Structure 1
């Protein structure tokens, strides 16, 4: 099993291009099930999660072609017909978001059998809201032996859908299903994340009629069919925020390109409050720190445009060497402080009580062997390793590969001493 080794102490100076957003790309890929014409996605990240979903889509009848096009990395997906409506557990379990093929399959072919995604290390994240939305649209839902059987032989019907609490996945799923429904669908208490706007723009390019994404109310007027389209995936705000934190942690000056700083305003404001320099540019931003110790600041995660839960672990790593005590409140997912004990192995002073962690900054972290527990936790350990004395080795980095493209290359280009150690223990050539 691969590991990543970081030798701490190097300042970061250079540029890091931000890849397309993983959380958007995988939902856009699922949209290919809605049309018999090709969907061309540009600015596509090459990640374990996109590969997982690609395998599942091919099983359902989608051809998936990756290449370097005139607009950079692209993926062309084409499903002239749905050859199977069965999504098995061995594929769905690898990534929860693959459950979102259920709605498009039912919308286009009238039936599907999709595995429930199973558990999650950062909380239950049940799919109840997804299924309630599909039932509201007229699908008949049955659960047997870990599978969802969904049927709508006469097609889906427009409906009023009100979510009891905000759910990004359920909002996206309802949008993907409702675009082919007969009539008008209104989603109330919808999630407002930028990835939903990206999905709306792609669906509308395919001929859908969706409006309101990015607000609590989304309205979809169903159409009989969708066509092919070309769409550029939005830049990854979580990757952008991660490298912004890494630059603030290690010191130096890093220019983030192909980025939209407006998507991470909440984080950038906290970096400024802590003492880092932030300068917006035409295609991203510059993060600076001259070597002086940062100040501890408090954060509380919240739905967009608040502080993203997917940046909480990275910010905790930043606070481990800040001057003073930081309080970090997690309000989105339960059980999302599993990175804290691993940061403590590096010498961090952290105490966790319920949904709050207190981080008392120390002057120096010490390198050690640590283990990634989930995607965002894994990169928080890399960030801490950038300043830890000696070498930090992070294992179970398959989590990291799910969401960060060429991380060693991007950090290494800015002077970080980061290398991948392949499963047999020898450095990768």
Structure 2
């Protein structure tokens, strides 16, 4: 059983390069199923989720060559339209194969997807949207089965919530549909824009990505393309919070500050100094002498990201006063609270709200990463805590942070991964 051991109250310094975005690379890898041609992706992070989705593509017949941070995918021999259960149960992003396979082959079978247990996260928006594009969908104990009689056809789709996954799935399906598709109340995340840029490089006609209305005009076929994945804004935010909570000065490189604006604003409000160099793609944080409490409400982009809520809560555990967190995206995203309490945090939960009253000190403890971002939050808390913290259930962290131990060591952290 592997664990991470952190010796706290160390000052960090230096700089760390941010990897390609996990939440951007997964749908872009899946998008290569839309063509028989070769696609080349750059800045692909070495993550467990990336390995899993590449294995899903290979199980369908695609050739995947993954060297360093470059992935070359050839889809000419893709013939299967059913993803094996052992892969799909590992990660929720597997549902994204539905749109491309339906558009290209007219059928797809999918086990119910897995991933972090941070809420129900139903896929009904995906299925209803695909039905509006002409798919016939049947659900039984084996999963979801979808077929189309001939090409999908364009339609107007309104998403009752701006789901990132549904927006991505429907965008991909619509690229090869007959006619025009309009997705209203679409997700506006930078990862949506990155996917649209990849699709357009492949010959698609996608307009309006990054706004609430995306318009896709279907084309007869897509071709191969090359694309560089955007930097991971959540990874960048996590390292910046590590710098702020330890009252350190660190710099993240390969970072698009505009993608992180809500997090940077809250960091400054808390008393940290933030220095942005947009041209050099760097952001520097200088932790303040004291941490001021700030209130956080998670919202779809461009609001405060739910994927940064737990890390910011760890930071607020040492604030001078009480911070209020309101989680509006996932109903089960306070699982990290019990673990932070083991370290001495004073946190009260009332429904969708968590009230964090800062304490003078956190203490090392034996804790577990209940989900991907909770794991990062516990490391952030451990870096500032008195004594030694042991963190278990590392499979969550491996899904979303590339070379986590190496990067923190580069910043001067006393952190090790061991077998226990």
Q: Tell me the TM-score normalized by structure 2.
A: 0.98
Match of 1:322, SS state, is coil
Partner of 1:411: 408
Partner of 1:376: 373
Moved over 4 A (4+): none
| Aligned residues of 1:111 and 1:153 also touching (Cα < 8 A) | no
Q: Deviations over 1:281-327 (max 9, x none)?
A: 2212101125x121111111111111000000000000001111101
Distance 1:345 1:53 in 2: 35
Partner of 2:132: 136
| Aligned residues of 1:82 and 1:109 also touching (Cα < 8 A) | no
Distance 2:121 2:371 in 1: 14
Partner of 1:265: 261
Query: Is structure 2 residue 331 aligned with structure 1 residue 326?
Result: no
Partner of 2:287: 289
Distance 2:323 2:369 in 1: 23
Match of 1:86, SS state, is coil
Distance 1:74 1:118 in 2: 26
C-alpha displacement at 1:146, in angstroms? 3.4
Partner of 2:70: 74
Match of 2:118, SS state, is coil
Match of 1:352, SS state, is strand
| Aligned residues of 2:291 and 2:319 also touching (Cα < 8 A) | yes
Partner of 1:300: 297
C-alpha displacement at 1:88, in angstroms? 2.4
| Aligned residues of 2:35 and 2:75 also touching (Cα < 8 A) | yes
List aligned pairs for 1:15-414, cutoff 5 A.
Answer: 15-68=15-68, 73-118=69-114, 121-281=117-277, 282-289=280-287, 292-414=289-411
C-alpha displacement at 1:153, in angstroms? 3.5
| Aligned residues of 1:198 and 1:233 also touching (Cα < 8 A) | yes
C-alpha displacement at 1:368, in angstroms? 0.6
Q: Report the CA distance shift for 1:310/1:352 in structure 2 as closer, same or farther (over 3 A).
A: same
| Aligned residues of 2:116 and 2:371 also touching (Cα < 8 A) | no
- Segment drifting more, 146-155 vs 350-359: 146-155
Match of 1:87, SS state, is coil
Match of 2:380, SS state, is helix
Distance 1:18 1:155 in 2: 40
C-alpha displacement at 1:83, in angstroms? 2.2
Distance 1:153 1:108 in 2: 12
- Segment drifting more, 348-357 vs 79-88: 79-88
- Segment drifting more, 144-153 vs 366-375: 144-153
Q: Deviations over 1:42-90 (max 9, x none)?
A: 011010000011111100011111114xxxx211111103221111222
Distance 1:361 1:367 in 2: 16
C-alpha displacement at 1:118, in angstroms? 4.9
| Aligned residues of 2:41 and 2:228 also touching (Cα < 8 A) | yes
C-alpha displacement at 1:245, in angstroms? 0.8
Aligned-residue CA RMSD in angstroms? 1.0
Q: Tell me the TM-score normalized by structure 1.
A: 0.96
Unaligned runs of at least 5 residues, structure 1: none
Match of 1:278, SS state, is strand
Q: Deviations over 1:358-410 (max 9, x none)?
A: 00101111101001110000110000000111110000011001000011111
Unaligned runs of at least 5 residues, structure 2: none
Distance 2:138 2:115 in 1: 20
- Segment drifting more, 142-151 vs 331-340: 142-151
C-alpha displacement at 1:120, in angstroms? 5.1
Distance 1:279 1:19 in 2: 20
| Aligned residues of 2:270 and 2:292 also touching (Cα < 8 A) | yes
Distance 1:396 1:144 in 2: 32
Distance 1:162 1:325 in 2: 39
Distance 2:257 2:177 in 1: 36
| Aligned residues of 2:91 and 2:115 also touching (Cα < 8 A) | no
| Aligned residues of 2:90 and 2:115 also touching (Cα < 8 A) | no
Distance 1:252 1:311 in 2: 19
Distance 2:291 2:108 in 1: 52
Q: Report the CA distance shift for 1:120/1:238 in structure 2 as closer, same or farther (over 3 A).
A: closer
C-alpha displacement at 1:119, in angstroms? 7.7
